[in-house]
Amino acid sequence: MADLAVTRCAEPRIRKTSTYTVLGFAGYGVGSLLAAALFVAWQLPLVDRLIAAFAPPLAFLAVVWLVRAITGAERIVFYQIFVTGVLAAGLVDLALGSQPARVVDIATLGIGAFLVLGRLGCFAVACCHGRPARYGVVYGAAHVDLGFWARWRGRRLWPTQLVESVASLALVLAGLALGWDQPGRPAVIYIVGYALIRFALELVRGDVARPHRHGLSEAQWVATASAAACAIWQPGGATLGAALALGLATSILVARRHARALLALPHLHELDRCCRAATQARAETSLGVRVSRHDLPDGRVDWVLSSERPGWSPAAARRLAGLLWARHELVAGRLPGVLHVIVDEPGLVGPARTEPGSLDRARGAP
């Protein structure tokens, strides 16, 4: 599932149908086939089968409808669907069925199987993408037309969708192999494993249209909570260790949220908007980063970044520049806290490069 609006994921297409849609339905089919096989293998009664088969998709429709009613837009978030579907299946079976642990197993593994192909759909249409990396996937103009950030067109990004797809497949197989004879164990293996992987992947996710609170994304909070829930449900060394590890990581990231704020996705996009506004005058972000534009005689552009914010440093400024401009030259200004970013043109793509002193050849550095 994509963590952006469905209308954002419309291309590329298989014939006249969205690749995202085709792979989504294919994933649902694979998940349903796996669930049907597990019904037989684990000899579930009819009531439990019906609950496992219908509770997750009905919960999915309910969540989509509720979010649309509240926000006015259709926004499908995998973790919301996953948690709601598994909880709905487990609670309904606890009330009406006879094997709630097995129903939770089937709902979890079925949704996990769906995600294997679902994330391939995200990969095809450039949603749920990663941040710039040395190696990775490249998206072009067709994806920019759909809403992909133009700053990162042509840049190599972390293939987060592919990593998550492979990880989901591995966790489904691990759940089946290690928990076949222990009801509830396959679900715990998948939920805890996915929580660890998703928490880490969020650190290199590059799509901005996701809620954040106290320096963590919604998915990171859910990952920590789901690992803690599994530790309570089935306490053991692995579940308790995972819950404690995610709790510690959460505490560290929350404590360092102000230091990380400059490089956070919302601030990057805000700085991008300030760059557009700086064509007329100097602009400043909400975190106190000032930007101004100066056209050089040779046709290049000198973007001047400066700030008096605590935590602003040449290293932080260089990381900001590397995230916003692919091919650029960096020159430290004469005044403290000032950095010049020299680019051929705004948003130019290509490998980053740093050549200190080049601005001095173009004009005197202040």
- The pLDDT, as a whole number, for residue 17 is 64
Please check the confidence at residue 350 and state whether its pLDDT lies above 60.
no
- Looking at residues 79-87, what average pLDDT do you find? 93
What confidence tens digit (pLDDT) does each residue in 110-122 have?
A: 999 999 999 999 9
Neighbour-count burial for 9-34, b at 16+ CB within 10 Å, e otherwise: beeeeeeeebbbbbbbebbbebbeeb
What confidence tens digit (pLDDT) does each residue in 11-46 have?
A: 444 445 678 888 989 999 999 999 999 999 999 999
- The pLDDT, as a whole number, for residue 281 is 74
What confidence tens digit (pLDDT) does each residue in 169-212 have?
A: 999 999 999 999 999 999 999 999 999 999 999 999 998 877 88
- Looking at residues 221-230, what average pLDDT do you find? 97
- Looking at residues 251-260, what average pLDDT do you find? 93
- The pLDDT, as a whole number, for residue 15 is 44
- The pLDDT, as a whole number, for residue 33 is 96
Q: Could you tell me the pLDDT band of residue 51, with boundaries at 50, 70 and 90?
A: very high
What residues does 292 pair with on adjacent strands? 304
- The pLDDT, as a whole number, for residue 12 is 45
- For the chain, the average pLDDT equals 86
Say which residues have a Cβ less than 8 Å from residue 274's Cβ, sequence separation at least 6: 283, 284, 285, 289, 291
- The pLDDT, as a whole number, for residue 106 is 97
- Looking at residues 97-106, what average pLDDT do you find? 96
- The pLDDT, as a whole number, for residue 364 is 32
- The pLDDT, as a whole number, for residue 219 is 95
Model-level pTM? 0.86
Strands 212-213 and 156-157: unpaired
Rounded to whole angstroms, the Cα distance separating 54 from 50 reads 6
Q: Is the dihedral of CA 136, 140, 143, 144 positive or negative?
A: positive
Residue bearing the bigger pLDDT, 76 or 125: 125
- The pLDDT, as a whole number, for residue 345 is 64
3-state SS class at 199? helix
Q: Are 133 and 214 in contact (CB under 8 A)?
A: no
- Looking at residues 320-330, what average pLDDT do you find? 88
Q: Copy the structure tokens of residue 178.
A: 């290690």
Percent of the chain having pLDDT more than 90? 55
Please check the confidence at residue 366 and state whether its pLDDT lies above 70.
no
Q: Copy the structure tokens of residue 26.
A: 């294919």
